[in-house]
Structures are given as C-alpha cells and as structure tokens.
Structure 1
C-alpha cells in the first residue's frame, strides 16, 4: 500500500507570515495549529519515497521526518516556494557523495538551471519530455504518472500530475486557476484530487490571481467529479480550526497528515 504524507500545506509565503500579526498568524506562532510550511507531499511506496516539490522549508520538513537524505523529487514548476529547497538538498548530496534525482518537464529544468547553475553537479535531472518522445511510461512504486501543463493565472503555468494504479487514480495540482477544457479533462474522474486553494473566498480581482479559492474549487469539482478532494496551498486567510461550509467529500490538509491509498 502507498501513503501520501503532507509535509507542507502553505502558500508561497507560508504561515505565519513574518510581517503579519493577524489572528491566524499569531495562533500559528503560539500553538502551531495553523503553522504551514510551503506546499509539498511525500509519496511513500514499497519502492521508496517520491517527494513532490522541494520548497524553502525542505530542511525543516526532512528534520521533522527524521530523514538524513532524500533520493528523488518531482517538481511542479520553478517558483521559489516549490524549488528553493533544491539548493539545501544539493549541498547535502555534496557532503554524502550521493546524487539525488529530480524529475520535471524540460522548461521547468531550464529555469532551475538558470537560477542555480551549479546544482547539476549534485542532482541528476531527468526530463519528463524524454518519456513522451520515446513512448515510455513514467512509473514509480507501481504508479503510472502522467502530467499536464495547467494555467497558473497571473503567475504563468504549473504542471499537474496524475497517478494511476489499477482502477484508482489521484492527482496533485497545487497551483492552478481558470483551467481550460483540456486541462479539466486531464483532472476528470479522479478518486482523489489534491488542489491548491489559497483562500476560502478571495476578493482580489480575478485576472490578478493565480490559485483557486475554496468556493471556486467546489464549483470546479461539479465538472471534474472527483470522489474526494483535499485542499492545500493555503494562506493566512484560512483558519484550520474554523468550520467552513465544505462538501462532505472535502477536507483541508494539515501538516503531517497521511492519506492511505488503495
């Protein structure tokens, strides 16, 4: 059996925000219920572990797990909150003399290697485009993994990943909004959809935004028909202790939460 563990459930700034004294940020500092590291999940399988995204909280996330190293990671896009931990990981690889492996589409690697040109000496980069060009499946731990470029609104693009094993499928789509019909088709009919929702209801003008809110996510799922949804990538406008008007098949991700996959 495989397990998904949420290492981080926060938006780009995390919670608490360093400059903020709102009720949620203050609670996060005092008792930690709302403390959220940058969004990342760990897929645990009999074959090993696969990290999805490696943000700036990677080192603390590894410490919380009791890990002294990591083998592999899958990256959704090259924004700081999803890749800044690669430098710490690369440094760990340098000292242990064991290269890690990073999977992502070529355009994501192009940005990463431009930002951190030295990182290729410590991490192996495997372009997902090579699987498509050769007609091979990308598999790990018994899961067939596919990917699709999705709209990240004002912030450009991200990639959603779909995992299939037998008749069960789940997807990880942390940074998306205003999905097109073909992007929705990629995420249709899932057993589980993990979706980024920075707010319960976001008041900012739609064209300035980059991630769905929870109200829009409920409307979206009327088209996608996922059996279960978990919301992640939450900002300080979300209080994990509050009871939101959410459908019965929806829950908010919590740091450390584990989901057992059939």
Structure 2
C-alpha cells in the first residue's frame, strides 16, 4: 500500500451546515452537499498499516463511510470536543471487539482526555509522544502551537525517507519558534476557518486564508491543503488561494511521496 492521506472531515468545531444557520453555504450543504463538512480528521495509510488523526463527534459516521469496523491507532492534536468527542464511541468499539486501541498524544493532552473520560484507559493503551513516535513507518515529532483564545493545540511533523509533511489544524499567530518546524515541507495541512474573519482578533483561534497566505510566504511548503473550514468558505466560489494551495474535500486522497 502506498503512503497516502485521506480527508475524512474538513470542517471547523461546529461543522457545516450549522443547525441554526440559513446562510447560502449552509443551505447548499443541506440541499446538495458540496459544502457539507464533518469535523476535521484524516486517515493516514502506509506500510500495510493505518492511523487516524483526531476523533471528533463525527467519527462513527466517518467509519461507516469508509466501511471500516475498527481502527487500532489514533493520534490526537488537542483535547477540544471537536477533536476527541468520538473517543467514547471508539472505546466502546474496542470493548466489544476485545481489542485495545492505541491512543497517542502529548502527555498533557492525554491527561486532559482522561479527566474528561476517566474510563478510557480500560479500553486503550495511552502513549505520550512528546519525545517522538513512529506510526506506519513515519517518524513523528510534535510541538505546541498557539490556538488563540482557545489556548493551545499541537501540530505534527512526519518524516519518511526524504518526504516531510505536517498537520496543523488549529493555530493562529504562530511565533517564530512555532513556525520553524513548518520549514522544508513537501506538504502542509493547515487549518483556515474563514476566508477573512472580521471578529476581534483577541476572540479568534484559527488562521483565516488571508493570514495563512502570509504564513505560507514565510515557511514555503511545496504544497498546502486548507482544512478546518467554517460556513464562511464556499467551495463553489473562486477562492483567493496562493499558488500550490488547494481546499480539502471529504474523501480526497493525497499521495505522501514525491
């Protein structure tokens, strides 16, 4: 099996459509589904193995779409509900299958998860990745990133041979030190919740596409895919994307090799 990345969900914390909203994007998402977005998550496959990054409340529906009955390995970016809300269902699946899951995250994220779901360790092995990890043959490193008013998240950098990619779904206003691991990438998966967010900066938590373009001009990845998008983003429109950038769509598969 070649190394590849599949987008399972590409939405922000509330997904699209919003329950309360009748905007053009939410209306289209209900009617034809081009803008319908589950909470952000990806499947990584390679070396005959696989793992999922983040397990939000749409995890069960994602698994049904994939036709999968189990997953063994899960890597978590941070302990917000849109990234861990599916863990109780995964835990229940592990219990009924009689197979312990393997959950990977930085130590402080694992601690937050156990505080919220104290029964999870009965059904899964928890491994801290602060000093690195390896899944599907990828050497993985993580670092804390600014998540604005929502505190912090973690980003992950993956290396196999001469291919380097990173997953950074929830961040804003990165410091020079937080940007450094984004240098020299073949692929960057970056969260951009809005095309241009007008809310006061101190209330925000994720890059918009205008700010993301500035970040990309600094770190210069070979290609970039935007994810974690709100109902502000209409995939039917011509979006202001820099060269080498595209929008993630559910089911989209990307090869992870040169």
TM range (shorter): over 0.9
Contact preservation (8 Å) 2:147, 2:206: yes
Spell out, residue by residue over 1:167-216, the C-alpha distance to the aligned partner (whole angstroms, 9 max, x if none): 21000000000101110001112111000000011001111100000010
The corresponding residue for 1:118 is: 119
- The 8 Å contact of residues 17 and 29 in structure 2, kept in 1 or not, is answered as yes
CA contact (8 A) 1:145 1:162 kept: yes
Deviation at 1:217, TM superposition (A): 0.4
C-alpha distance in 1, partners of 2:90/2:186?
32
**8 Å Cα contact 2:56-2:86 kept in structure 1:** yes
Pairing 1:261–2:256 present: yes
Quick check: 1:176–1:212 contact (8 Å CA) kept in 2?
yes
**What is the match of residue 69 of structure 1?**
70
Q: Aligned residues, how many?
A: 256
Q: What is the CA distance between 1:47 and its match in structure 2?
A: 3.5
Inter-partner Cα distance in structure 2 for 1:183 and 1:189: 14
The list of structure 1 runs, each at least 4 consecutive aligned residues, that deviate by more than 4 angstroms after superposition, is none
Q: Measure the CA separation in 1 of the matches of 2:235 and 2:63.
A: 23
Determine if the alignment matches structure 1 residue 252 to structure 2 residue 247. Answer: yes
* Corresponding residue of 1:22: 23
Is 1:191 the counterpart of 2:186? The answer is yes
- CA shift at 1:248, angstroms? 2.3
Where do residues 101-140 of structure 1 align in structure 2 (5 Å cutoff)?
Answer: 101-129=102-130, 132=131, 138-140=133-135
Q: Secondary structure at the match of 2:198?
A: coil
Once the two structures are TM-superposed, the CA of residue 142 in structure 1 deviates from its matched residue by 2.0
Once the two structures are superposed, the pairs formed by residues 1-262 of structure 1 within 5 Å of their partners are 1-129=2-130, 132=131, 138-262=133-257
The alignment's TM-score, normalised by the length of structure 1, stands at 0.96
What are the ranges of 5 or more consecutive residues in structure 1 without an aligned counterpart?
A: none
C-alpha root-mean-square deviation of aligned residues, in Å?
0.8
- Structure 2: gaps of 5 or more residues: none
Is the 1:47–1:140 contact (alpha carbons within 8 Å) kept by the matching residues of 2?
no
Residue 26 of structure 1 aligns to a residue whose secondary structure is helix
Cα distance in structure 1, aligned partners of 2:139 and 2:115: 30
2:129–2:141 Cα contact (<8 Å) kept: no
Cα distance in 2 for partners of 1:23, 1:180 equals: 35
